[in-house]
Amino acid sequence: MYPSEATQKVWRVVLRLPASSSLVTSRFAGDPPGGREKEVAAASKGKSRGSGWRRSMFTNAQRQVERTGRSGTPRGQYLQDLVTQFQNATDEESKEKIVANLANFAYDPFNYAFMRQLNVLELFLDCITEPNERLVEFGIGGICNSCVDPANASVIVQCGGIPLVIQCLSSPVRNTVTYALGALYYLCNPATKKEILKPDVVRIIREYAAAGAVNTSFSNMANAFLEKHVDS
């Protein structure tokens, strides 16, 4: 199942793994780098990528077999291995690499059921609470990539994720702010508007919307949020 026309203007990301990462050597490890960034660029200019391009960016069961081959690691097992590696990691750099890799997998809807089963969404939220800004960045990036799916968004909301996403709007890290704006765009709905559209939150988003001369990414995403959820 591929994203509908209504989800073409997505602000989901393919995260750049930290340098020297050895976690992307799997035969299917992650989607093409920069793929989501290209879609964002096209959407911000009022364009959409062709449906064939969108289909090529996502996995289905047949394509999974083609990519991994008979001897490849099944996707669910590979993700389980990443979660176990994170749980056993003792240094911050290893955790950063693993979370960045998981966030890349959160880009592909084929992985959503596996990620819910393995509590990866909760892992992303836990990372947002860490003092390590890199873990926060990759954690909110994983949330941004995941929450376009209603089932994922429901898990995030039920786990108290909205306040954690909102606090990322005040991060000194630009990527973290960008991913938070994208996540709120998808998390905001009639059931969550009261929690998200508080005066202080709307004020911050309006400030980002007016900051086009400083950061066009902030401005474009903030304006899209306001158009859809506040000013409509």
The C-alpha atoms of residue 104 and residue 86 are separated, in whole angstroms, by 15
Instruction: Find how far residue 23's CA is from the centre of its chain.
Output: 18
Give the integer Cα–Cα distance in Å for 229 and 232.
6
Q: What's residue 193's pLDDT?
A: 97
pLDDT of residue 16: 52
DSSP 210: T
pLDDT score at 151: 97
Residues 57/31, Cβ–Cβ less than 8 Å: yes
Residues with pLDDT less than 50, the chain: 1-11, 19-44, 48-57, 64, 66, 68-69, 71
What tokens appear for 121 in the block? 């969404």
- In three-state secondary structure terms, 12 is coil
Of 178, 230, 168, 175, the C-alpha closest to 208 is: 178
All domains in the chain, ordered by first residue = 5-229 (1.25.10.10)
**Tokens 């660029």 correspond to what residue?**
41
Quick: pLDDT tens for 141-170.
Answer: 999 999 999 999 999 999 999 999 999 999
* pLDDT score, position 135: 97
Residue bearing tokens 């997505």: 10
The H or E element containing residue 151 is helix 150-158
Using the structure block, give the residue that is written with the tokens 């941004």: 144
Provide the whole-model pTM. 0.77
DSSP 173: -
- Residue 138: closest CA among 172, 165, 100: 100
CA distance 96 to 56: 28
